[in-house]
């Protein structure tokens, strides 16, 4: 299978891999007990042979459904509980919106959506739980691509060297993070997408 979606030898269209950089903010460490607070999603496409973040993006803040609000976790993203309860969209609708956003970018029946995160296990756990809770098929399935693991392989570095601050010094063209926007799910998803593109665009990479 090719990330560029090239045709197979038989003439049929091979499925394309569409990467979706996903970042979530939460009210605590695990789904079920705590809430999915916000979701940011940035698709990654290929243009002129290079991977680039796409312009169509998704950001949403969710109305709480669980009782848990850890003060430390809430301080990280800074979104007040009262704002979420007042202005957050219903969680089921948020997951439907995410499902539709992903589906709109799959152009053929064989295309595959790949969930990408920086420490993907945290973000995927919340997203997967919410899809299951509301009986909405998870468009990403049960697999995810972890940027930290990808960086280990592409750069030949250790796990503890895969933080964003270190990656921005190792990857050509990757700008430093905007510290005023860190831990906003929309910005973090975009910065993760930029890291993913920088890794995939390194010489010697496979499609």
Q: What b-and-e string marks burial along 105-124, b requiring 16 or more CB atoms within 10 Å of the CB? A: beeeeebbbbbbbbebebbb
Whether the CB-CB separation of 123 and 146 falls below 8 Å is answered with: no
Query: Which residues belong to the active site?
Result: 183
Q: Measure Cα distances from 190 to 64, 66, 87, 156 in Å.
A: 24, 28, 23, 24
Q: With contact defined as beta carbons under 8 Å apart, do 34 and 18 qualify?
A: no
Give the H or E element holding residue 12. Answer: none
Distance between CA atoms of 60 and 39, rounded to whole angstroms? 5
């Amino acid at each position: 299978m090719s990330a560029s979606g090239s045709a197979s030898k038989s003439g049929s269209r091979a499925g394309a891999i569409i990467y979706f950089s996903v970042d979530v903010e939460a009210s605590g460490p695990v789904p079920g007990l705590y809430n999915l607070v916000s979701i940011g999603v940035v698709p990654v496409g290929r243009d002129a042979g290079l991977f680039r973040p796409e312009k169509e993006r998704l950001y949403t803040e969710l109305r709480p459904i669980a009782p848990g609000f850890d003060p430390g976790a809430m301080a990280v993203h800074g979104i007040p509980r009262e704002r979420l309860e007042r202005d957050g969209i219903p969680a089921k609708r948020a997951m439907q919106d995410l499902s539709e956003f992903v589906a709109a970018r799959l152009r053929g029946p064989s295309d595959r959506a790949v969930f990408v995160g920086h420490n993907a296990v945290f973000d995927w756990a919340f997203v997967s739980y919410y899809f299951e809770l509301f009986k909405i098929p998870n468009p990403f399935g049960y697999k995810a691509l972890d940027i930290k693991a990808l960086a280990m392989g592409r750069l030949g570095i250790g796990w503890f060297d895969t933080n964003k601050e270190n990656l921005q010094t190792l990857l050509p063209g990757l700008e430093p993070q905007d510290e005023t926007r860190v831990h906003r799910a929309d910005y973090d998803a975009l910065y993760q997408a930029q890291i993913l593109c920088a890794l995939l665009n390194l010489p010697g990479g496979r499609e």
